[in-house]
Structure 1
Amino acid sequence: MCTASNYITDDHYFGRNFDYEISYNERVTITPRNYKFEFRKIDAIESHYAIIGIAAGIDSYPLYYDACNEKGLAIAGLNFAGNAVYKEFDEDMVNVTPFELIPYLLGQAGNVAEARKLLSEINLVNINFADELPLSPLHWMLSDGKEAIVVEPLEEGLKIYDNPVGVLTNNPPFDKQLFYLNNYRNLSNRNPENTFGGDIDLDEYSRGMGGIGLPGDLSSASRFAKVAFTRANSYSDSDEASSVGQFFHILGSVEQQNGCTFIDDPDLYEYTIYTSCYNTNKAILYYRTYHNSQITAVDLNREDLDSSELINYLLINEEQFNFIN
């Protein structure tokens, strides 16, 4: 279960909470322009846009959870259990496996509009990465500085939605998530007028009463509403430190604490393993982990982007304390 969002000040920011019960040794992975992308059913791509993102640390292939390319397009894949449907091979389509979708799109599309064109020809084919690593049921949010979309593999085919709120969680499908926001149309960042009725004199006894009714549980639908409200009403200065800090606060509003979401195992709980934030204009990835509250940054443009070898940085998971005496 995860939450993705974008945020725009002078630059475009995008990222997500990765919520799961098990870590797969996540790492920052930079794919330079000349790394050869091999695909299961289509020709390899030998030259492409450079990519930075967070990937599973289990293979030499970049199994990205979320990523951004040097042109400013960003993508995150989120769990979509019970709804994701992957298809059999279709000779009339471009057959891409779900784990290849992020490299395929970010390698060639510089913005959402270009990604739409590629998606119109894609068939997400049902091929596991490996026998011991079956496909995850996913849907994806794509975002640039101008627009955002959601891509969902459904029984009737690949569905693309415009995303006017810049947020995605897990279930139900995105059109239903968006519709549920109608239930919260009365919410405000200002305290409401007394419209209870009659002559009852009701007190404004606290700040924040305009948000009464905003959900605070950890379910997908509730996290969607909470982040949509938080993002829509967020305010920060437009400098990098203020923008990045505010972005982490937006996703922090639905962070999952270890122990609060029980999994069907006596020792496992879902928690926010990491939170990512991309400045897509500058191709800088910022992240925090559950065990390290300090923001760590990796700059794509400080690497040799014309090389052909992956560049990896393990996530820093130990808490960093700043003693001032």
Structure 2
Amino acid sequence: MCTSVNFLSTTGDYFLARTMDFDFNLDGRPVVIPRHQHFNSDAHDAGYDTKLAFVGAGKNIGSYILVDGVNEKGLSGAALYFSDEAQYSDQPQSHKTNLASHEVLNWILGNAESCADLANQLGDLNVVNSPIKLLGQAVPLHWIVADRSGDCRVLEIKADGIHYMTDPVGVMTNSPDFTWHLQNLSNYTELQPTPHPDRNYNGYQISSFGPGSGALGMPGDYTSVSRFIRTVFMRQYTEGVSSKNAINALSHILNSVEIPKGVKLKANGQSDYTQYRGYMDMSNLTYYMQPYDDQSISKVTMTEALMNKSVPTEFPINHSQQYQELN
């Protein structure tokens, strides 16, 4: 269960941010995947290749699997849970790139230069119902991608095929499908940052109880449906800031959907919680990570040296200094 949001600074730069919400520690950390890598695949013996460098949060489970990041062309993306909705192919297909769902983000960031470029490559993609070793099952996922031009899209794979849709509100959460979330926004047309006007009922005047009443009715629970509504509202009305202050603004936006340990329990008693927040700067090719334990923010910026290395570079998180440059 996660939340993602695309954001434009007042100085013209785009950012993508996400919460990573899960019930056991995924132990992700910043990693730079250099150019021209070959990855083994859980879906097919041929594996897959990437040509572009990218940085994001990942874990080495035999090879690196990333769940969010930004590539050297400024395309960013994040994988989010899509339970009860995602449906993949049962078999690999010849003459296509066959991937497990958890490998799709690597392939996107490693090969697509923009949202439009990805659209041209999706015809070559076949996502196979193959398990990830970490969980022992295929992971139901959908993806949000955004680029420097402001283009933001959602990729979903369901029983009727691939859906690659423009995201006009720059927000994505989890199930139901993205089209449903957009339609559900119509139930919240009354939300606004200013108070509602006074009302008169047969001569009896009523007034709201002070500032903030414009947001009365905004859902406050942790379901994907409610997180979608809250994040669209926060993104729309949060005061614009320069690129220098965009990470701070995004951190405040995501505060509204961060899940503390213990407040969202599953039927088995395990607690979904926000393990970290990831922030992707598409102009400066920088990845920021804000872990749950101390909320400090560390960053990694891709350099030519990192992008041209022969193997990935992993960066341990230091919890002692805000905005620490990892190297």
Name the TM-score, length of structure 1 as normaliser. 0.91
Unaligned runs of 5+ in 2: 323-327
Say which of 287, 290, 294 aligns to 2:289.
287
C-alpha distance in 1 between matches for 2:218 and 2:134: 43
Cα distance 1:144–1:165, how it changes in 2: closer, same or farther (>3 A)?
A: same
Q: Give the 5 Å matches for 1:258-269.
A: 258-266=261-269, 268-269=270-271
Q: 146, 155, 159: which is aligned to 1:155? A: 159
Which one of 16, 25, 34 corresponds to residue 32 of structure 1?
34
Measured after TM superposition, the shift of residue 304 of structure 1 is 2.4
Q: Alignment partner for residue 209 of structure 2, among 193, 202, 205?
A: 205
Measured in 1, the distance between the counterparts of 2:26 and 2:233 equals 31
Amino acid at match of 1:313: F
1:254 to 251, 257, 260: 257
The amino acid of 2:298's aligned partner reads: T
Residues in 1 aligned to 2:307 and 2:133: alpha-carbon distance in whole angstroms: 29
What is residue 7 of structure 1 aligned with on the other side? Answer: 7
Greater Cα shift, 39-48 or 108-117: 39-48
Measured in 2, the distance between the counterparts of 1:214 and 1:117 equals 38
Decide whether the 8 Å contact of 1:20 with 1:270 is kept in 2: yes
The 2-side partners of 1:86 and 1:156 are apart by 10
Q: Which amino acid aligns with 1:161?
A: M
* Corresponding position of 2:44: 41
User: How many equivalent pairs are there?
Assistant: 317
1:61 Cα deviation from its structure 2 partner: 1.3
**Alignment RMSD:** 2.1
Q: Does 1:76 align with 2:78?
A: yes
Counterpart for residue 273 of structure 2: 271
Q: Which residue among 210, 231, 237 is the counterpart of 1:233? A: 237
How far is the alpha carbon of 1:195 from its aligned partner? Answer: 4.4
AA of the residue aligned to 1:3:
T
Which of the residues 205, 216, 219 maps onto 2:220? 216
Question: Displacement, 1:187?
Answer: 1.0
* Amino acid of the structure 2 residue aligned with 1:156: D
Structure 1: gaps spanning 5 or more residues: none
Q: Matches of 1:319 and 1:206 in 2, distance apart?
A: 40
Counterpart of 1:187, as a letter, is: L
Distance 1:154 1:237 in 2: 38
Contact 2:36 2:50 (8 Å CA) reproduced: yes
Mapped contact 1:42–1:94 kept (Cα < 8 A)? no
* Partner AA of 1:284 in structure 2: T
Distance 1:122 1:262 in 2: 36
- Quick one: distance in 2 between partners of 1:216 and 1:132? 30
| Preserved contact between residue 85 and residue 155 of structure 1 (Cα < 8 Å) | yes
Question: 1: distance between equivalents of 2:201 and 2:145?
Answer: 45
The residue type paired with residue 32 of structure 1 is: P
SS at match of 1:36: strand
Aligned to 2:247: 244
Q: Which stretch has the larger CA shift, 161-170 or 100-109? A: 100-109
- Code of the residue aligned with 1:61 in structure 2: it is S
TM-score relative to the length of structure 2: 0.90
How far apart are 1:265 and its partner, in Å? 3.5
Aligned in 2, Cα 1:94/1:36: closer, same or farther, shift over 3 Å?
closer
Q: What corresponds to 1:136 in structure 2?
A: 139
CA distance in 1, matches of 2:155, 2:235: 21
Q: Quick one: percent identity of the two aligned structures?
A: 26
